Structure 1
Amino acid sequence: MISRGDVVWVDFGAPRGSEPAKIRPSLVIQDDWLNESGVATIVLIPFTSQVRLQAFPGNVFIPAAASGLDKDSVAVVPQIGPVSRESIEPHPVGHLPGYLMAEVSAAVRLLLAV
């Protein structure tokens, strides 16, 4: 089962405007009670390997050693959104530690003004 904090590969499909595209890692941000419910979508935050984007407000630097990925990444929090389960590889490549989940959660609260 996919859990909050998991790093998963997602097929976002063809590029459209500034939306995430192609196959890329993403962070499961949706709470586990909803993940376990069988709802058709999961709320994710896509990653980019363009680490210079960490300078943009709301983005969070994710070191490779903490994510299970080969490269350092940036969680692009402003691109948070739902993705169909069919587009998500069901086997996570990693799970973010608590300190990074706290940073991402703070960025989500900042973005949504909650």
Structure 2
Amino acid sequence: MWARRGEVRLANLNPSRGTEAGKIRPCVVLQSDLLNEADHPSTTVIPLTTRLMDAAPLRFRVARRGSLKADSDAMIDQVRTIDNRRFTGEPIAALSVGEMAEIEEYLKIVLGMIPE
């Protein structure tokens, strides 16, 4: 298994285009552990940034913890699926079940999955 849902892992997101998040940066693993445990070759993640903005539901604040060196924002509008070979090293932090539930609510808004 490459990753677990809720882990924060470094991933090399280069090359990027236009407004896509690039460089090596922490990402929250969003994908279900059903796929992760099946050794799926790719993983759906949300990149983090240290450029903090109060912009819910586009951003979700992740407090510094573990080896995550600074408070960061999960860029909900930048959700993407990456090849597992983009991960570099072991997990550096983890989000709680409650934090992941909040991220899911933000995703529903951003992806138009709730009635307006």
Report if TM-score (shorter chain) is over 0.5.
yes
Show structure 2 runs of 5+ residues with no match.
Answer: none
State the partner residue of 1:51.
52
Higher mean displacement: 71-80 or 92-101? 92-101
Higher mean displacement: 87-96 or 77-86? 87-96
Q: Percent of aligned pairs with the same residue?
A: 29
Which is richer in helix?
A: 1
1:51 counterpart SS class: coil
The runs of at least 4 aligned residues of structure 1 exceeding 4 Å deviation read none
State the partner residue of 2:29.
28
Check the 8 A contact 2:56/2:106 in 1, yes or no: no
Check the 8 A contact 2:42/2:81 in 1, yes or no: yes
TM-score (normalised: structure 2): 0.88
1:103 counterpart SS class: helix
Show structure 1 runs of 5+ residues with no match.
Answer: none
TM-score (normalised: structure 1): 0.90
In the TM superposition, 1:1-114 aligns within 5 A as 1=1, 2-52=3-53, 54-55=54-55, 57-65=57-65, 68-114=67-113
Figure out how many residues of one structure are paired with residues of the other and give that number.
112
Check the 8 A contact 2:25/2:48 in 1, yes or no: yes
